[in-house]
């Protein structure tokens, strides 16, 4: 389905389609403030949070931010405002990171999936993008936690890490790897769905907070803190869903998700002719 056919899809009630908002200046782009209202966000502050998460996903995928998110200023009704020039892929990421309780966001997700020829999988795509973002946040969280543990005189990082998993999963990390059939050298985190990843991110941040607030020191104290927080996260998950963390289904390899999203970037750029001979790459310069 090409852009002209997709123009028949209207995502709001005033008969304007996503393609109607496209700007052309060497390359096709969309103003973020236009897209904000198109998706039903009333304030820039709330919408900017979605943009930031989408930029995190883009950066995590090693896709150049400047090709997709170009921060600039423009004049609107006689006033200078801060805005972004968004590529089609940037709009895709924003839609997939958006609040699906908003009707226009849900329609936009289906719209982009239709463009990709995979409308039946758009919820999977949205979940996978969230996985990419949360997995990156966990990497940052683990670095921060390890730095705090170092100050607190940790003597064995592997045992400290294992204690957190033991508390949350009621088994050692090696056992979890075996139960989940995780390839050698890979983290179980790379095969977790977004809910399980979010729970582990909470476990990691709360472990760091506990160590800081209680001024815990030494290997034994650090392991005890990590295991206790893991147990509390486990209990919370059991109370809410009635499911043990280790019983959650294994997700697809996050590396495959990265490959898929990188291919989606190329596909959506191709839809606008980006990268063709005689045309520039990415967004036009800010004006």
Maximum CA extent, the chain: 64
d(C-alpha 176, C-alpha 82), whole Å: 48
DSSP assignment of 252-284 equals PPHHHHHHHHHHHHHHHHHHTTTT-TTS-SSSP
In a domain, 27, yes or no: yes
In a domain, 286, yes or no: no
Q: Residue 153 — left, alpha, or beta (φ > 0 → left; ψ -120 to 50 → alpha)?
A: left
In a domain, 285, yes or no: no
Q: Which domain holds residue 201?
A: 125-249
d(C-alpha 25, C-alpha 21), whole Å: 13
In a domain, 160, yes or no: yes
Burial class (CB in 10 A: 0-12, 13-18, 19+), 112: buried
pLDDT tens over the chain, length 287 residues: 344 433 434 545 556 678 877 887 777 899 999 999 889 999 999 999 999 999 999 999 999 999 999 999 888 888 888 999 999 999 999 999 999 888 889 888 888 877 766 545 667 788 889 999 999 999 999 999 999 999 999 999 999 999 999 999 999 999 999 999 999 899 999 999 999 999 999 999 999 999 999 999 999 999 999 999 999 999 999 999 999 999 999 999 999 999 989 988 888 887 776 544 333 334 433 33
DSSP 16: -
- 108, 147: one domain: no
Number of structural domains found in the chain: 2
- 76, 100: one domain: yes
d(C-alpha 25, C-alpha 280), whole Å: 10
In a domain, 283, yes or no: no
Q: Look at residue 29 and give its three-state secondary structure.
A: strand
Burial class (CB in 10 A: 0-12, 13-18, 19+), 48: middle
| Residue position matching structure tokens 């815990």 | 216
In a domain, 264, yes or no: yes
- 34, 145: one domain: no
- 133, 241: one domain: yes
Structure tokens at 28: 């096709």
- 107, 173: one domain: no
Go through 61-81 and write b for each residue having 16 or more CB atoms within 10 A of its CB, e for each that does not.
Answer: bebeeebbbbebeeeeeeeee
In a domain, 81, yes or no: yes
In a domain, 96, yes or no: yes
- 241, 152: one domain: yes
- 203, 154: one domain: yes
């Amino acid at each position: 389905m090409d852009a002209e056919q997709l123009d028949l899809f209207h995502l709001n009630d005033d008969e304007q389609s996503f393609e109607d908002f496209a700007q052309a200046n060497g390359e096709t782009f969309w103003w973020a403030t236009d897209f904000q209202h198109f998706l039903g966000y009333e304030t820039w502050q709330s919408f900017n949070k979605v943009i930031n998460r989408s930029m995190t996903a883009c950066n995590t995928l090693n896709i150049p931010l400047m090709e997709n998110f170009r921060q600039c200023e423009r004049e609107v009704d006689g006033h200078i405002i801060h805005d972004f020039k968004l590529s089609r892929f940037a709009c895709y990421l924003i839609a997939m990171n958006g609040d699906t309780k908003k009707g226009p966001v849900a329609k936009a997700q289906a719209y982009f999936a239709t463009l990709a020829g995979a409308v039946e999988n758009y919820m999977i795509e949205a979940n996978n993008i969230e996985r990419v973002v949360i997995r990156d946040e966990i990497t940052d969280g683990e670095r921060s936690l390890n730095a705090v543990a170092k100050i607190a005189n940790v003597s064995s990082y592997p045992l400290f890490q294992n204690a957190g998993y033991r508390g949350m999963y009621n088994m050692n990390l090696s056992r979890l790897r075996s139960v989940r059939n995780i390839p050698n050298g890979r983290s179980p985190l790379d095969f977790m769905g977004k809910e399980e990843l979010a729970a582990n991110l909470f476990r990691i941040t709360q472990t760091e907070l506990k160590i800081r607030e209680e001024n815990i020191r030494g290997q034994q104290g650090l392991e005890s803190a990590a295991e206790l927080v893991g147990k509390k996260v486990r209990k919370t998950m059991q109370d809410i869903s009635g499911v043990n963390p280790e019983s959650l289904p294994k997700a697809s390899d996050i590396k495959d998700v990265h490959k898929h999203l990188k291919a989606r970037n190329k596909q959506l750029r191709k839809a606008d002719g980006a990268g063709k001979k005689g045309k520039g790459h990415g967004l036009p310069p800010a004006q």
